[in-house]
Structure 1
Amino acid sequence: MAPSHSFHVHASSSHLRWSNAIAPALRVPSGAEVHLDLPDGGGNQITRETAAAGTALSGFRMELADPCVGPVYVEGAEPGDVLKVEILDVTPSAGYAWTAVFPDFGVLKDDEEFQTPVLKIWDLQTAKEDGFIVFRESSPRIVVPFAPFLGVVGLAPEAPGELPTVPPMPETGGNIDTKYVTAGSILYLPVKVPGALLSCGDAHAAQGDGEVCGMAAEMQATTRLRLTVEKNKPWVKSPWVLTAPPPPPGMRKGEGEDKREYMCLGIDSDLREATRKAVRGVVEWLATEKGLTRVDAYMLASVAGNLKMCEVVDMPNYTIGFSIPLSIFVS
């Protein structure tokens, strides 16, 4: 049973590198609930005031992007284990978010028309109540579903040294920018060092699959996570996501669980290899947990699986998701 108390990590415990040498900001028992205060993906460099003054992008320092808060040491976590990260809540802590086009960044970074920096500010004051954020008020009015999630969730890597926070890591996650990591979802990460050393950040109010211009609706946020050490999940060699159940109105009891998906994230500098990693992960899970031969698992994945380009801009690595709908398992 999870402890009755929770723990808090302030945004001042932030870092801009992945390393197993960073001292823990907090130690918690397995099953603990942790609250974290998160700067936005730009390190809070962009504000309403600098946007209004027209100076927000001129002095923007890309090397300060994707700060992570942590790390959190989870007692009992050892290499070979899995850290189960339940996303309990992701809430804006400022009344705005932002999206920008930066020269030489994003899928279309080589196109001449996208070489001028442009900034958009989103109003989040009533986003939770409305269920959407407004892209444009004039006709046709354009709104985007408000779907807050964590862009960065990761564990310390096994190898010594330091890694930047912008590219996702093939095994332990990090800047996966996967929009399915919302409240109600569960992320599973392979533990490589004692204590796991979890850090997170880069909350988004909304994002499309791929995050093609390089930015989502970037926001400051608070998040609540439950961190639990699990054993005997050999297929978890990279991040896995159990998606959140759909909204409850009109749903019969138990129906939500059937509408969830279990998704393996393949991360690699080669797009095809990232895809292969994701598919291999699902094949291993189907063989290990569902009793299929690997050949049958491969065929079922081809017939029932869903492939998603979750992130294609944080070079040198791509994040590709491959999921199986749990509704196919009927007994």
Structure 2
Amino acid sequence: MKNCIKKVLTAAGVAGAVFGGLWIGTKLTSETQVRSIKPFFRRRSPYILAHRGGMGIRPEHTKLSFDKASDFNVDGFEIDIRMTKDEEIVVFHDAYVDRTSNGAGRVSNMTLDELKKLDFGYHFRDVEGNHPYRGDKDAKIVTLRELIESYPDKLINIDIKDKPETYEGSLIPSALYRLITELGAEDRVLVTSFFDDQISRFKLYSGDTIALGAGENQVKNAVLSYSTGFKHMYKPNADTFQLPLKPGTPTLYSQGFINFLQSLNIAAGYWVVNEMDQMDELIQKGAHTIVTDYPDISYYLMNERY
């Protein structure tokens, strides 16, 4: 038994020595890479972005929501995009229109004209359970072009939703880049996606000219580097991390992790934050961006405490 314990302790010591040697070696040979700050991030922080235009108080991704969020002085909007059958880029989250409209079917199987005929205020309920926006003329789908042109003073956080392996997913990175440059919106858009491949494809066109978010794999790599003590080896390829607040992920919104991102000039953003105290806590820790369903709540926070 004593021999067994001795062997275990010896093995642990060897492992510790190897780990320590590896850490020292990488620390001496690795050079920390700090991101240059893109124009998108040069305004005063914290940024308050209305999630899908502020889906808690108006029908998501409609003119109704974007107008109302603007009344609450948000810095911009966090939106999702998809491509239609006739290759128009629309501001929309789901693959299907069923949840939010009076229609049915995939966005990619419908033309823009077909989508424009649908009522996207149909299913929205207010706090009393009513449907106040059914049939409203502004409860319509919005194209990305319309959004960028209609709100020239707002920042726009764009999340590519079409999967890389789909036809529309293969087209949207290049189409998105062309639209952004055509409208001269390079400095006020941020492009991101849960799919790392979509961010990489977009970057083939944009290079280092447009702010980029991190996909899931990049975030996982950063968390692993930070948690294992090898954060000096992490090489960032994004200008911001947009992180969820959910049980079991305390590292993502810890003071240490936010400091780590700040040291690399990576803006720490959090979604979806709908409670005033939680918003305040994150801002106090140094969070750069708060994405919320309720821009009215963020408005009162920023006016009362900041």
- What's the TM-score bracket when you normalise by the shorter of the two chains? under 0.3
Q: TM-score scaled by structure 1?
A: 0.26
Larger Rg: 2
Which of the two has greater helix per residue?
2
